[in-house]
Chains A and B, each alone.
Chain A
Amino acid sequence: MRKNRLEKSRHFENGAGFGAGTVLRRICPFLTIACLLLLWQWVSAREIISHILVPPPADVYQAFIGSLADGTLLKHTFVTLEEMLYGLLLGVGIGLAIGYAIAKAPILENILSPVIVAFQSTPIVAYAPLLVIWFGSGIASKVVTTAVIVFFPTLVNTIVGIRSVSPNLRDLMRSLKAGRWQIFRHLEAPSALPVILAGLKTSTTLAVIGAVVGEFVSQGSGLGYLVTLARNLYDTPLVVVAVFTMTVISLSLYGIVAYVEWRFLVWQRRASA
Chain B
Amino acid sequence: MWSGAFWYGSAEQAPSIGFTGEMYPMLKFVRLMLVLTMWLGLAASAQAEPVDERILLTFIPNVQFAPFYVGIEDGYFAEAGFNVSLEHLQEPEVLDLVAVGQAKFGIVSGEQVILARSRGRDVVYVFEWFQQYPVGLVYSSALDLSDLANLQGMAIGIPGRFGASYSGLTTLLGSAGLSEADIDLREIGFNAPEVFCLGAIDAAIVYVNNEPLQIRNLVADGDCGAVSDVEVITVASQVDLVSNGLIVSRAYVDEDPDTVARMVSGLTGALRSVIDNPAGAYIASLKHVDSLPAEEALLNALESAAEEQIAFLESDPDRADIARSRRQLASDLGERFDRATLTQLNVLLNTIELWDAEVIGFSDLSSWEAMRDTLDSMGFLDDGAGRLQDAFTNRFVAGSDG
Contact = CB atoms under 8 A, between A and B. Distances in A.
Question: CB atoms of A and B under 8 A apart anywhere in the complex?
Answer: yes
Interface of A: 50-53, 137, 218-220, 228-229, 231-236
A53 B2 CA distance: 19
Contacts of A218: 189
Given A137-B189, A235-B119, 8 more contacts: A51-B120, A52-B100, A219-B1, A219-B187, A228-B2, A231-B92, A234-B115, A234-B118
B1 A228 contact: yes
Nearest to A66: B382
Contacts, number: 47
Interface of B: 1-2, 90-92, 95-96, 99-100, 115-116, 118-121, 160-163, 187, 189, 380
Given A52-B96, A234-B92, A229 B187 contact: no
Contacts of B380: 233
**Max chain B C-beta neighbours (<10 A), residue from A137, A219, A233, A235:** A233
Nearest to B159: A219
Contacts of B96: 52-53, 234
Contacts of A229: 162
Nearest to B3: A232
A220 B160 contact: yes
Contacts of A231: 90, 92
24 contacts: A50-B99, A50-B100, A51-B120, A52-B96, A52-B99, A52-B100, A52-B121, A53-B96, A218-B189, A219-B161, A220-B187, A228-B1, A229-B162, A231-B90, A232-B1, A232-B2, A232-B91, A232-B163, A233-B115, A233-B119, A233-B380, A234-B118, A234-B120, A234-B121
Nearest to A53: B100
Given A219-B187, A220-B160, A228-B1, A234 B119 contact: yes
Contacts of A137: 187, 189
Nearest to A234: B119
A232 B161 CA distance: 12
A83 B147 CA distance: 42
A52 B120 contact: yes
Nearest to B162: A232
Nearest to B117: A234
Nearest to A232: B2
**Max chain A C-beta neighbours (<10 A), residue from B1, B2, B160, B162:** B1
A270 B2 CA distance: 55
A232 B115 contact: yes
A232 B187 contact: no
B92 A232 contact: yes
Nearest to A136: B189
B51 to A, nearest CB: 24
Contacts of B100: 50, 52-53
Given A219-B160, A219-B162, A234 B116 contact: yes
Contacts of B116: 234
B102 to A, nearest CB: 9
Nearest to B116: A234
A272 B187 CA distance: 55
B336 to A, nearest CB: 35
Nearest to A239: B92
Nearest to B114: A234
A218 B161 CA distance: 12
